Amino acid sequence: MKTEPLTWAQAHTNIALVKYWGKANLELIIPQNSSLSLTLDHFYTQTGVQFDEYLSADQFWLDDQSIPVSSKVKRCLDVVRELAGINQFAKVVSYNHVPNSAGLASSASAFAALATAASRAAGLHLDGKQLSRIARRGSGSSTRSIFGGFVEWHGGNSDATSYAEPIQDPVTMDIKMITVILNRSQKSISSSNGMQRSVTTSPYYPIWRDQAANDLINIKQAIYSNEFTNVGEIAETNAMRMHSLTLSADPSFTYFNADSLTVMNVVHHLRQNGIECYFTMDAGPNVKILCQSKNEQRIQDELANHFKPQDIVVCNPGPGVKVIRDPR
Ligand code: PMV
């Protein structure tokens, strides 16, 4: 019996500057609104996949621990099996260089790496658009992690029309994202549950959809014309509009904690003192700060008054997914 080696891929996290918040189709993960993100260099996932006729079930190993195969992982593998016309189970081995499920988009890099490694292991040679559609079946945000730099996820209204596209890669704008890691533990309300509650109970939800569509048009214009200030202002406003949907849901909830508010206050204080920076936040308490190179050190110094140095991570724009050699 000859067993093929695992096929590996590496994908990086992305942070949305115009957020995806709300599903129109829960099964296919078609979003209510299109979104735009920046892929980051610092956080990534490496995943190896092997389809094996001798396996009697899918297996998943995360950071050398065997864990149950989630329905999302199974769904991605099933899509690949169907496309490739195979029915073998898979062994999946994954190493995550991202704090799990704390609003740092670990699922984004994870499913982009899985879609790429699995499809290659099944003998498929798919383009980025096709890979983004498979990644989407695992988590919405991972649709965008197929590509590097600034990336748009066209929301669409079907499997075929909901995919990611690179907007600018490599990134020519001077832009950095300082991540302040405030909590490495799992979030209490998953993004899926949070979205669903917002869509079904926030009276502001219909307004969000219109405003996110406008934000997307404006931020793309700002990227194309290299206007960092506009990118930062749109990203911060858009993030707060997303979080207002959690506060206005019934029952109300929030991903903010006291430290998140401290970081926001630091950003406001720096801006009042002429240091240009903007914040954004996802479905967890960690805050990310957008800035340019000239202000990076000053912002880090200010954050160091409140947080440990190892919890302050400066990220640059990162690359799209790639097939790699076995990293072990
Ligand atoms: O696709 P999920 O379940 O990782 O949800 C992502 C939701 C946000 O991170 C808050 C926004 C976004 O567009 O990434």
Statement: residue 101 has pLDDT above 60: no
Q: What is the mean pLDDT of residues 296-308?
A: 97
Q: Tell whether 326 is covered by a domain.
A: no
Q: Tell whether 328 is covered by a domain.
A: no
Instruction: Give the pLDDT band of residue 310 (cuts 50, 70, 90).
Output: confident
Name residue, tokens 């019996």. 1
Q: Tell whether 32 is covered by a domain.
A: yes
C-beta atoms surrounding 281 within 10 Å: 22
183 shares a domain with 225: yes
Q: For residue 19, report the distance from its CA to the centre of ligand 1, in Å.
A: 7
- Residues in CB range of 246: below 8 A, 6 or more apart: 194, 197, 198, 202, 252, 253, 254, 255
189 shares a domain with 115: no
Instruction: Give yes or no for a contact between 167 and 35, defined as CB atoms under 8 angstroms apart.
Output: no
180 shares a domain with 165: no
159 shares a domain with 286: no
Reported pTM: 0.96
Please, what is the average pLDDT of the chain? 95
Nearest-atom number in ligand 1 for the CA of 141 is 1
Domain tally for the chain? 2
Closest CA to 20 of 30, 28, 11: 30
180 shares a domain with 267: yes
pLDDT tens digit sequence for 194-215: 999 999 999 999 999 999 999 9
Q: How far apart are CA 183 and CA 100, in angstroms?
A: 10
Domain containing residue 241: 176-315
103 shares a domain with 38: yes
> So what's the pLDDT on residue 188?
81
> So what's the pLDDT on residue 3?
61
Instruction: Read off the tokens for 297.
Output: 């050190």
Checking DSSP bridges between strand 7-18 and strand 65-67, what pairing results, if any?
A: unpaired
Q: Tell whether 242 is covered by a domain.
A: yes
Q: For residue 90, report the distance from its CA to the centre of ligand 1, in Å.
A: 27
Q: What is the mean pLDDT of residues 242-271?
A: 97
147 shares a domain with 17: yes
Which of 25, 132, 141, 150 has most ligand 1 atoms within 8 Å of its beta carbon, as the pocket-test mutant? 141
> So what's the pLDDT on residue 186?
59
Main-chain phi, psi angles of 306, to 5 degrees: -120, -25
269 shares a domain with 165: no
Main-chain phi, psi angles of 316, to 5 degrees: -110, 170
299 shares a domain with 220: yes
pLDDT tens digit sequence for 1-43: 456 799 999 999 999 999 999 999 999 999 999 999 999 999 9
Statement: residue 247 has pLDDT above 80: yes
Q: Tell whether 133 is covered by a domain.
A: yes
Share of the chain above pLDDT 90, in %: 92
- Residues in CB range of 213: below 8 A, 6 or more apart: 33, 34
Q: Tell whether 269 is covered by a domain.
A: yes
18 shares a domain with 44: yes
pLDDT tens digit sequence for 109-153: 999 999 999 999 999 999 999 999 999 999 999 999 999 999 999
Statement: residue 86 has pLDDT above 50: yes
295 shares a domain with 202: yes
Q: Tell whether 165 is covered by a domain.
A: yes
pLDDT tens digit sequence for 163-191: 999 999 999 999 999 999 887 665 689 99
Whether 140 lines ligand 1, by a CB cut-off of 6 Å, is yes
Whether 246 lines ligand 1, by a CB cut-off of 6 Å, is no
Main-chain phi, psi angles of 291, to 5 degrees: -155, 175
131 shares a domain with 197: no
100 versus 130: which is more confidently predicted? 130
Q: Tell whether 323 is covered by a domain.
A: no
Extended strands (E) in the chain: 7-18, 23-25, 30-31, 35-52, 59-62, 65-67, 89-97, 150-154, 163-168, 176-180, 278-281, 287-291, 312-315, 322-324
